[in-house]
Chains A and B, each alone.
Chain A
Amino acid sequence: MAKLLILGGGIAGQTAALHARKQLSRNHEVIVVTPNSKWNWIPSNIWVGVGFMKQEDVVFPLAPVYKKTGIVYHQAKAISIHPEGNSESAVPYVTIEYTSPEKMGQLDIVQYDYLINATGPKLNFNATKGLGPEFNSHSVCTASHAESASSALHELIAQMKKGDKKDIVIGTGHGNCTCQGAAFEYIFNVEYLLRKNNVRDKANIVWLSNEAELGDFGIGGMHLQRGGYITHSRVFTESLYTERSINWIIGAHTNEVEKNTIHYETLNGEQKEHRFDFSMLIPPFSGVGMKAYNRIGADITSELFAPSGFMLVDADYSKKSYEQWSPEDWPKTYQSPKYNNIFAVGIAFAPPHPVSKPMFSTNGTPIFPTPPRTGMPSGVMAREVAFSVVDMIKGKSDKPTRTASMAKMGAACIASAGAGLFNGTAASMTMYPIIPDFKTYPDTGRSLTYTSGEIGLAGHWIKHFLHFAFIYKAKANPFWRVVPE
């Protein structure tokens, strides 16, 4: 009997757990350790943040799903990994701390034969003074953050209806943020909401971001073939911002958020500030801060994790300049180079380097997006790693049997630009490969056949449909496997 322990019950963890449980006989145990009692379809938090959906619409309780599927569930957070066991036993284990009301704060250990780390990001609001819902800016990264952003926004709209003019800033809260796509969706949903409430003329909306160019999205942007031209996403993005009368500040590292003022540094080294009445700034992400210890209790965290806190896997982490980067640097099996029974998927794995070109201000401040790992690739790598582990448990191989390199994977992404069944819009994008490959596709880094983008109501319908489809799948309802990752 083998024990597969999955840390994190988010998009990647849930995918890995459901696939592994389906593939393994009941002699084997699949265990999930995750601190939340509810699963959250994070992409729809955007709609909670504008009041189009409620928090309850984007979450559901995990316990019944795990009970139904026979997955062992600990509502707890992993604190440390002990891949060699301890002085008394060589069985590897993870120390956990319960977060459920009944057992809050209690420590325990969970032994494993195979471990998949899918703990996602720590929302590192502390990286910027005054950033985050506890201080001076809003967030939509969790459903509850999004709900409080929505309340604040609706209060603001009420004031605008009385004739007040307001300044709104949406974007990134640090020079090294990723997830620009989420802020992009939010700014357009806010703009749409203001129009719906007939107060658009009362708001000055500004995009503030660490991207060197609009439309970078942490992937260096992408080229699309449209209207007889091969055009960079920058042009399409600038067009959309112009159409919706949104100004942009780019190449900006937010270094402090005061009650109504954002202080930021630009790539040309200037220190500037911007006034606001409402701001939603995505925080930078780091690993969740798990530790690792060897058999004698010595700290081996730096052997398992990168300094960012993300887990080291089979990527090429050697220091290289932008010009030396290669698609081959990206991990394929997501196996830890140190322990072959440990894997990391989704946001939890350490990327070898960014995708966007690193930029530094004239003062040396790094201002560039870190690489995004969106829902689709997170799900795909989780599924493939689950299959590899299943094969290893079944004795088919002692090595991972599946690969899911982001350099060989495509992604589809629907970015909402306003939620209305008849007049909503979304930017629907597909790209292949996610990691640009300038050897195979010399001018653009990506296939022009498989990379596409368009704006329209159809995208909104798809986004809305996917909301229900992915929640259906995560609940492991009948035929859940028909819904792709």
Chain B
Amino acid sequence: MDVRKPYEQTYYPPVPTKFTQKLRVNFLYQFFRFMVLNLKMLRMVRKH
């Protein structure tokens, strides 16, 4: 991310912390999310 400058559009949105960014590519945690996401999608498939 470039430096965010006051009053520019990218100044306002929330941005992930380093920890959140690491978690997004952490193998173990993502393996767990992989399971959860698959279940969520299956639930969606079952809804029709």
Q: Is there an interface contact between B13 and A241, defined as CB atoms closer than 8 Å?
A: yes
Closest to B35 in A: A458
Contact with B along A312-336 (1 / 0, CB 8 A): 0000000000000000000000000
Q: Is there an interface contact between A458 and B13, defined as CB atoms closer than 8 Å?
A: no
Closest to A433 in B: B47
With a cutoff of 8 Å between Cβ atoms, the chain B residues found around residue A248 in the complex are 9
Q: Which of B1-48 contact A (CB under 8 A)?
A: 1-2, 4, 9-10, 12-16, 21, 23-27, 29-31, 33-34, 37-38, 40-45, 47-48
Interface membership of A90, Cβ < 8 A: no
Q: Is there an interface contact between A458 and B44, defined as CB atoms closer than 8 Å?
A: no
A452 and B26 CA atoms in complex are apart in Å by 20
Contacts A410-B47, A412-B41; A243 near B24 (Cβ below 8 A): no
With a cutoff of 8 Å between Cβ atoms, the chain A residues found around residue B37 in the complex are 428, 454, 458-459, 462
Closest to B23 in A: A456
Main secondary structure of the interface of B (DSSP, over half): helix
A445 and B43 CA atoms in complex are apart in Å by 19
Q: Which of A448-467 contact B (CB under 8 A)?
A: 450, 452, 454-459, 461-462
Q: Is there an interface contact between B12 and A458, defined as CB atoms closer than 8 Å?
A: no
Shortest Cβ distance from residue A62 to the other chain B in the assembled complex, whole angstroms: 26
Q: Is there an interface contact between A484 and B15, defined as CB atoms closer than 8 Å?
A: no
Q: Is there an interface contact between B38 and A462, defined as CB atoms closer than 8 Å?
A: yes
Contact of B45 among A243, A422, A454, A484 (CB under 8 A): A484
Interface membership of A409, Cβ < 8 A: yes
Interface membership of A198, Cβ < 8 A: no
Interface membership of A65, Cβ < 8 A: no
With a cutoff of 8 Å between Cβ atoms, the chain A residues found around residue B33 in the complex are 454, 456, 458
A432 and B26 CA atoms in complex are apart in Å by 29
With a cutoff of 8 Å between Cβ atoms, the chain A residues found around residue B48 in the complex are 380, 404, 408-410
A461 and B41 CA atoms in complex are apart in Å by 14
With a cutoff of 8 Å between Cβ atoms, the chain B residues found around residue A404 in the complex are 48
With a cutoff of 8 Å between Cβ atoms, the chain A residues found around residue B24 in the complex are 425, 455-457
With a cutoff of 8 Å between Cβ atoms, the chain A residues found around residue B31 in the complex are 458
Q: Is there an interface contact between B44 and A242, defined as CB atoms closer than 8 Å?
A: no
Q: Is there an interface contact between B44 and A432, defined as CB atoms closer than 8 Å?
A: yes
Contact of A456 among B15, B30, B43, B44 (CB under 8 A): B30
Interface membership of A423, Cβ < 8 A: yes
A404 and B4 CA atoms in complex are apart in Å by 46
Q: Is there an interface contact between A242 and B38, defined as CB atoms closer than 8 Å?
A: no
Contacts A432-B44, A458-B30; A242 near B15 (Cβ below 8 A): yes
Interface membership of A239, Cβ < 8 A: yes
Shortest Cβ distance from residue B21 to the other chain A in the assembled complex, whole angstroms: 8
Interface membership of A159, Cβ < 8 A: no
Contacts A409-B47, A462-B37; A244 near B1 (Cβ below 8 A): yes
With a cutoff of 8 Å between Cβ atoms, the chain B residues found around residue A462 in the complex are 34, 37-38, 41
With a cutoff of 8 Å between Cβ atoms, the chain A residues found around residue B41 in the complex are 412, 430, 462
A242 and B10 CA atoms in complex are apart in Å by 5
Q: Which of A227-278 contact B (CB under 8 A)?
A: 235, 238-239, 241-245, 247-248
Interface membership of A411, Cβ < 8 A: yes
Q: Is there an interface contact between A238 and B13, defined as CB atoms closer than 8 Å?
A: yes
Closest to B4 in A: A242
A277 and B41 CA atoms in complex are apart in Å by 39
Q: Is there an interface contact between B14 and A235, defined as CB atoms closer than 8 Å?
A: yes
A5 and B26 CA atoms in complex are apart in Å by 49
With a cutoff of 8 Å between Cβ atoms, the chain A residues found around residue B16 in the complex are 239, 243
A selection of 23 A-B contacts at a CB cut-off of 8 Å is A238-B9, A239-B15, A241-B13, A242-B13, A242-B15, A243-B21, A244-B1, A245-B1, A245-B10, A409-B47, A410-B44, A410-B48, A425-B24, A428-B40, A430-B40, A450-B43, A454-B33, A454-B37, A456-B23, A456-B25, A456-B30, A458-B37, A485-B45
Query: Residues on B close to A: CB < 8 A?
Result: 1-2, 4, 9-10, 12-16, 21, 23-27, 29-31, 33-34, 37-38, 40-45, 47-48
Beyond A248-B9, A422-B27, 9 extra complex contacts between A and B, CB < 8 Å:
A410-B44, A411-B44, A412-B41, A454-B33, A454-B37, A457-B27, A458-B31, A458-B34, A459-B37
